[in-house]
């Protein structure tokens, strides 16, 4: 299952039925779980002193697509999925079923929960904290430097089930509450209350999220989105939501 052109360190630990594509490099101090697929032209466990000697651990059932780079020192739960040309820096800790879209850049020292979905071209700055079941749509940016350039890093915090729509920017230290919605192309400079919608530049309170209606003719509330959107989530997870 390892392509002849791939370079796999003898010190790396690969689980059962792991596939490694052409011209991929897997460095020392890497652990890859069973039944994972790593496409061609990837670099896994890229060495950096900032990892402090920690291993790169990728859980079972991962699918890492071509031209992706994962630095040493991060840890991912089972069922990690990436698009193409992803970069993930050191000391990122993520839960199960993390989906990283094409051209994502995760700058490291981040905490990311379970079932987080990032679409294409998302940037997650160092020290960010992202909860469970969060959606980060295309071109979302989580910033961390309150007065660039500086050595002060203050990450954003995104609450469980929140959705950050396309091309929004979350400024350093901002907290987006659980089940909140940040509308497309917003610049969020202050904390967002749970279950609310903010929009604009600068972002301002628009309404409670429950006021947004589905555009499918049903006139049902679009939020919480867990009431009507279950695609790709395991049945046992959906059953546990108990959304009113």
User: Per-residue pLDDT tens for 45-83?
Assistant: 999 999 999 999 999 999 999 999 999 999 999 999 999
Average of per-residue pLDDT values in the chain = 97
Percentage of the residues of the chain whose pLDDT score is greater than 90: 97
Rounded to whole angstroms, the Cα distance separating 115 from 123 reads: 18
CB neighbour class for 240 (10 Å; exposed up to 12, middle 13-18, buried from 19): exposed
pLDDT of residue 243: 58
Query: Scanning the structure block, which residue is given the tokens 């919480």?
Result: 224
Average pLDDT on 185-189 reads 98
Nearest to 165 by CA among 103, 107, 235, 223: 223
Residue among 127, 134, 135 nearest 113 (CA): 134
- Which range has the worst mean pLDDT, 29-38, 178-187, 219-228? 219-228
The radius of gyration of the chain from alpha carbons, rounded to an integer in Å, stands at 19
10-16 average pLDDT score = 97
> Residue 218 pLDDT > 80, yes or no?
yes
Q: Which two tokens stand for residue 84?
A: 């193409």
Quote the pTM value. 0.95
What is residue 241's predicted lDDT score, i.e. its pLDDT? 87
Domains of the chain: 7-241 (2.160.10.10)
Q: What is the pLDDT of residue 240?
A: 87
Q: What are 94-138's pLDDT values in tens digits?
A: 999 999 999 999 999 999 999 999 999 999 999 999 999 999 999
Structure confidence at residue 43 as a pLDDT band (50, 70, 90): very high
Mean pLDDT value across residues 158-171: 98
Residue indicated by tokens 């295309």: 138
| pLDDT at 244 > cutoff 60 | no
pLDDT beyond 80 at 242? no
């Amino acid at each position: 299952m390892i392509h002849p052109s791939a370079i796999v360190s003898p010190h790396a630990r690969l689980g059962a039925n792991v596939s490694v594509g052409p011209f991929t490099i897997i460095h020392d101090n890497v652990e890859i779980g069973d039944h994972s697929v790593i496409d061609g032209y990837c670099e896994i466990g890229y060495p950096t002193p900032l990892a402090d000697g920690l291993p790169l651990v990728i859980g079972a059932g991962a699918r890492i697509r071509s031209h992706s780079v994962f630095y040493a020192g991060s840890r991912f739960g089972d069922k990690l999925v990436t698009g193409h040309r992803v970069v993930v820096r050191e000391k990122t800790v993520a839960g199960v079923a993390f989906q990283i879209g094409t051209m994502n850049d995760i700058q490291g020292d981040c905490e990311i929960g379970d079932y987080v979905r990032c679409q294409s071209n998302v940037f997650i700055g160092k020290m960010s904290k992202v909860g469970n079941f969060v959606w980060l749509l295309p071109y979302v940016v989580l910033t961390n430097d309150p007065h660039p350039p500086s050595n002060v890093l203050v990450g954003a915090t995104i609450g469980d089930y929140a959705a950050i729509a396309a091309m929004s920017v979350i400024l350093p230290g901002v907290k987006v509450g659980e089940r909140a919605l940040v509308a497309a192309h917003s610049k969020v400079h202050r904390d967002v209350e749970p279950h609310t919608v903010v929009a604009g530049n600068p972002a301002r309170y628009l309404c409670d999220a429950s006021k947004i209606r589905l555009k499918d003719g049903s006139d049902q509330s679009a939020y919480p989105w867990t009431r009507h959107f279950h695609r790709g989530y395991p049945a046992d997870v959906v059953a546990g939501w108990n959304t009113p």
